[in-house]
Amino acid sequence: MRIILKEDYENLGKVGEVVEVKDGFARNYLIPKQVALQATPQNLRVIVQEKARNKIKLSKDKREAELVAEKLKEVSLTANVQVGEEDKIFGAVTSQNICELLSSKGFEIDKRKIMLEEPLKALGVFEVPIKLHTEVEAKIKVWVVKE
């Protein structure tokens, strides 16, 4: 059976591609889960229209992400942490902490978009990347200081 993918599907293809799969797999899994549509001329037209809408939406989202990135370049956050002997901090500054600091500055950014490789466990100034869009990344400065 020929189907049109509505979502990226591993080992099958990407959105909008027409692929050939076994009838049972299409009827019992892909179509009921709304991952694919049967490849009819009408559905092909619908997919072409959806692709055009998605392209416009993606360009709009990218522009908005670029504007937020420009504003974030000027942001500097200060995380106050408790320290022990020899300035060794208790705990760590995580992406959740950074997310809360950003929301106090007026930025609503999901903590999963903060690309922190590992929690910050030392005093100092760190540059933390934030993935706002697939093609847009901003960097903010996070100051980890003792209380």
Instruction: Identify the pLDDT of residue 84.
Output: 87
**Amino acid at site 89:** I
Cβ–Cβ < 8 Å for 1, 27: yes
Instruction: Identify the pLDDT of residue 79.
Output: 92
pLDDT band at 28 (very low <50, low <70, confident <90, very high): very high
Instruction: Identify the pLDDT of residue 76.
Output: 92
* 80 and 60 in a common domain: no
* 73 and 51 in a common domain: no
* 94 and 47 in a common domain: no
| Average pLDDT of the chain, as a whole number | 91
Q: Is 90 exposed, middle or buried (0-12, 13-18, 19+ CB in 10 A)?
A: exposed
Instruction: Identify the pLDDT of residue 140.
Output: 94
Cβ–Cβ < 8 Å for 80, 101: no
Domain range for residue 133?
A: 69-146
* 139 and 80 in a common domain: yes
Instruction: Look up the CATH number of the domain holding residue 49.
Output: 3.40.5.10
The total number of structural domains that make up the chain: 2
User: How far apart, in whole angstroms, are the C-alpha atoms of residue 102 and residue 96?
Assistant: 10
pLDDT band at 128 (very low <50, low <70, confident <90, very high): very high
* 20 and 75 in a common domain: no
